[in-house]
Every structure is written in structure tokens, then in C-alpha cells.
């Protein structure tokens, strides 16, 4: 009995994605693409599953439908989640997995040879997760007649402008992150262990709403307090929350792998002046950035509007202030194309989606109030609906 297909988009959405990607391949002079980035694999075929710890790929020829290639035991996952028919699935035997004697890319090369594709101009994702140096070197050795070129963000760029169906999922992810922040406000108090608070956050994330459940985000909650909030990427401990400390919550709601990141800061007790000053600077700077964030302006214009207000308030932030978001897998919920920073002249288009990452990580404290939004011809659509303020619990 064939396994039931469970696709999250209608076929014509996948067809449009494929057409768009093939046009970009032609423009880049590529006639085959090896797509290792799990976000790109999902976007092209629907393939979903936590199998990206082994080598796998979607192979997209410019003149044919894609192939799924992966570990034998994951072929059933492809049968269920990807729109591809049986004859487009190429599982490899298990002895290739984490072996000192052979590499899975030897198997992929044999698949390409069997289809007569080993003399093509092949694009590989040189700097994407999870295309390793060994994968690259193995392909070079196995495919001496191919021309192997870097196509690292070719598919990522095709994902930048979202379809209406994708925006529906991102708005659902926004409802999830609203529920997560509501839970934090409800349970946060001095004395409770940080791990117990994070347990509540993850419960809210996955439970989602009464109408739909949540998915796992590509990053776990980043929830540092006090001096540790000077480091943006610490996770949590089992120490109790303390009065007189600020804690930021960098979290995302996720629905069918689509993300809506949203950060807020909560101060337990009477906040010191630094937090009040940061709130003022960040909210004013964010308003300035959102004011220019519309179709036709550039990434650096949005960043510039934010940074100039921040500087006027005496804050120096030496890192980018945002990035595009959408479908993703660990370890990153960003799309890794544009950045909101000086020098990035990418022009914003309607239905591009960004996380405006206006976080401040100072010498011994940190502060985050952020928003995720959709570019339109007018004011951006703010995805979440969580109060945009420093929350003080006294």
C-alpha cells in the first residue's frame, strides 16, 4: 500500500518555485544544481524531516524535474512529504553513513553518471548547511568532466519574495510567537528557575493555538539574564530568576517550518536607567526604520534610519540589524541573502519578509525589542501583535 502524501502547498506552488529557480540557473549558466540546504530542499520539493545530519540533496536539472537523494531509511519520509514520484527518489545504502571507508557523495556521483549528467555545469551550495568540505572534494574527484561552480545562495534568493500561501503560514507563526510571549509575561517571576520558564515557552511554541499546532523553531530560546545578556547566543541554566535583572527573550514561532522571530525584554524589579534609555532609543530607531521599510528602498537605508537614531541616543551597535526570514531548519532561521547593514543595496520588494533585529549587547547587559514584518508598497505589515515595550514586573 503506497504511503499517503502529505503536501503543505498545492502542486502549482511547487511548479512556480521550480520554474523560477530554473530561470536563475539559466542566468547563472548552470544546467544542474545540487541543493544540500534543507530549507532549499523543502522549498523546492516539500521534503521535510530531521535527516539533515547525514548527507542528502535535491538535484535539479535545468531541463527536467528534480530528484531526491538521501539515506535509504529516509526514502519513506520523501514518499510522504515530497511531491516527487517514486522514480525520482534515489536512496543510498546505509554503509555510506558516517564511514571512514567511503563517502555518500560517491553514490550521488554514480546517480548523476547513470543519468548522463556528469558533464554538466553543476552548481553546489559552497557555503550552505550542510555541504561539507569533504562532500565538495568528493564530487570534484568523482566528476572530473563536470564543471562545478558555487551557487551558494541561488535558491535562497528565489525564496525572498513570499507567496500568499507562505504569508498565511508566517502569520500563523506570528500567532504562535504571540502566545509564547503571553506565556512568558504570565509566568515570569523572581525565584522560578530559568529552565522552568523555558519549559513553558517551548510548551507554548509547540502547542500553538486551538486552531493549529506549532512546529520547532530553527533556534532554541535565547534567554540570557543580567551580565550574561551581554552575550546574544547563550541558552539557559537552572538558576532562579533574580529581582533587579533584565532578561531578553529571543524566540520565534514556527508553523510548517515558516518562522516569525520576535524578541522582548523583561525587567524584574525597578529597571535601571540604562534599560529605560535603551527602550527609548530602540523604539524610536525602530519606528524610523519601519518608516522607510517599503518597496523600492534598500536594506542599507532601513539600517541607516535605525542606526542614526541609535547613535543620537548614544548607543553603538556594531553588527547588522536584520535579515530575511521564512522557511528554515536549524541552525538558523535567517535566509542568508540580504542583511540590514551599511553596504547592502538590495532593493526591497513587496512580500519580502524580515526580522528587524535591533538587539543591543553591551559590555555587561543586553536589551532586545524586535519585530518581524512584510514589505508592501506602503507601511510594512507587522506580523506579531505583542506589546512593543520593555516589560517591567515589579
CB 238 to its own copies: min, Å: 3
Binding test (CB under 8 A) with its own copies, winner from 80, 187, 188, 283: 80
Q: Which of 372, 365, 95 is nearest to 232 (CA)?
A: 365
- Name which of 236, 263, 231 is nearest 365 in CA terms: 231
Among 219, 268, 288, 309, binds its own copies (CB under 8 A): 219
Contact 320, 342 (CB under 8 A): no
- Quick check: 334 binds its own copies (CB under 8 A)? yes
To the nearest whole angstrom, how small is the minimum distance from the Cβ of residue 376 to its own copies? Answer: 25
Q: Is 193 in the site for its own copies (CB under 8 A)?
A: yes
> How many whole angstroms separate alpha carbon 8 and alpha carbon 11?
9
Closest contact distance (angstroms) between CB of 147 and its own copies is 15
Binder to its own copies among 15, 186, 203, 291 (CB under 8 A)?
Answer: 203
Binding mask 39-68 toward its own copies (x if CB under 8 A, else -) reads: ---------xxxxxx---------------
Number of chain positions touching its own copies (CB under 8 A): 91
Please report how close the Cβ of residue 355 comes to its own copies at its closest, in angstroms.
13
Which H or E run contains 57? strand 57-61
**Rg of the chain (C-alpha set):** 22
Minimum distance of its own copies from residue 304's CB (angstroms): 15
Q: Is 157 in the site for its own copies (CB under 8 A)?
A: no
Query: Contact 239/214 with Cβ under 8 angstroms?
Result: no
Q: Does 361 bind its own copies (CB under 8 A)?
A: yes
- For its own copies, which is the closer residue by CB, 166 or 250? 250
Interface of this chain with its own copies, residues 231 to 270, rule: CB under 8 A: 231-238
Interaction residues for its own copies, span 280-319 (CB under 8 A): 318-319
Distance from C-alpha of 105 to C-alpha of 393, rounded to nearest angstrom? 55
Site for its own copies in 87-126 (CB under 8 A): 93-95, 97-101, 103, 124, 126
Under 8 Å CB-to-CB from 363, ≥6 apart: which residues?
230
Length of the chain: 394
Strands 32-35 and 121-124: parallel
* Residue 228 near its own copies by CB under 8 A: yes
Task: List the strands of the sheet with 147-150, edge to edge.
Answer: 89-92, 67-71, 57-61, 32-35, 121-124, 147-150
Amino acid at each position: 500500500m503506497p504511503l499517503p502524501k502529505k503536501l503543505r502547498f498545492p502542486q502549482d506552488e511547487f511548479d512556480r518555485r521550480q520554474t523560477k529557480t530554473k530561470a536563475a540557473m539559466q542566468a547563472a549558466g548552470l544546467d544542474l544544481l545540487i541543493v544540500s540546504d534543507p530549507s532549499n530542499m523543502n522549498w523546492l520539493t516539500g521534503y521535510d524531516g530531521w535527516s539533515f545530519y547525514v548527507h542528502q540533496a535535491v538535484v535539479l536539472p535545468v531541463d527536467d524535474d528534480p530528484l531526491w537523494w538521501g539515506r535509504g531509511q529516509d526514502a519513506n519520509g520523501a514518499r510522504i512529504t515530497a511531491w516527487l514520484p517514486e522514480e525520482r527518489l534515489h536512496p543510498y545504502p546505509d554503509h555510506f553513513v558516517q564511514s571512514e571507508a567511503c563517502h555518500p557523495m560517491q553514490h550521488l556521483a554514480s546517480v548523476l553518471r547513470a543519468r548522463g549528467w556528469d558533464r554538466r555545469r553543476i552548481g553546489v551550495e559552497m557555503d550552505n548547511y550542510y555541504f561539507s568540505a569533504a562532500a565538495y572534494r568528493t564530487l570534484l574527484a568523482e566528476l572530473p568532466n563536470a564543471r562545478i561552480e558555487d551557487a551558494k545562495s541561488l535558491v535562497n534568493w528565489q525564496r525572498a519574495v513570499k507567496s500568499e500561501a507562505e504569508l498565511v503560514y508566517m502569520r500563523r507563526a506570528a500567532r504562535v510567537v504571540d502566545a509564547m510571549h503571553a506565556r512568558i509575561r504570565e509566568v515570569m517571576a523572581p525565584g522560578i528557575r530559568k529552565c522552568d520558564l523555558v519549559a513553558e515557552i517551548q510548551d507554548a511554541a509547540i502547542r500553538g493555538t486551538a486552531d493549529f499546532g506549532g512546529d520547532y523553531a530553527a533556534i532554541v530560546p535565547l534567554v540570557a539574564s543580567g551580565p550574561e545578556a551581554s552575550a546574544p547566543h547563550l541558552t539557559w541554566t537552572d538558576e532562579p530568576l533574580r529581582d533587579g535583572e533584565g532578561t531578553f527573550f529571543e524566540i520565534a514561532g514556527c508553523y510548517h517550518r515558516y518562522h516569525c522571530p520576535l524578541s522582548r525584554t523583561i525587567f524584574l524589579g525597578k529597571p535601571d536607567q540604562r534599560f529605560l534609555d535603551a527602550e527609548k532609543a530602540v523604539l524610536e530607531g525602530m519606528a524610523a526604520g519601519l518608516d522607510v521599510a517599503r518597496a523600492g528602498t534598500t536594506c542599507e537605508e532601513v539600517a541607516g534610519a535605525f542606526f542614526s537614531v541609535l547613535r543620537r541616543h548614544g548607543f553603538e551597535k556594531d553588527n547588522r540589524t536584520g535579515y530575511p526570514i521564512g522557511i528554515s531548519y536549524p541552525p538558523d532561521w535567517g535566509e542568508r541573502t540580504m542583511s540590514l547593514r551599511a553596504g547592502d543595496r538590495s532593493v526591497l520588494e513587496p512580500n519580502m519578509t524580515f526580522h528587524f533585529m535591533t538587539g543591543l549587547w553591551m559590555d555587561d547587559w543586553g536589551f532586545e525589542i524586535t519585530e518581524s514584518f512584510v514589505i508592501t508598497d506602503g507601511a510594512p505589515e507587522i506580523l506579531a501583535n505583542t506589546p512593543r515595550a520593555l516589560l517591567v514586573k515589579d
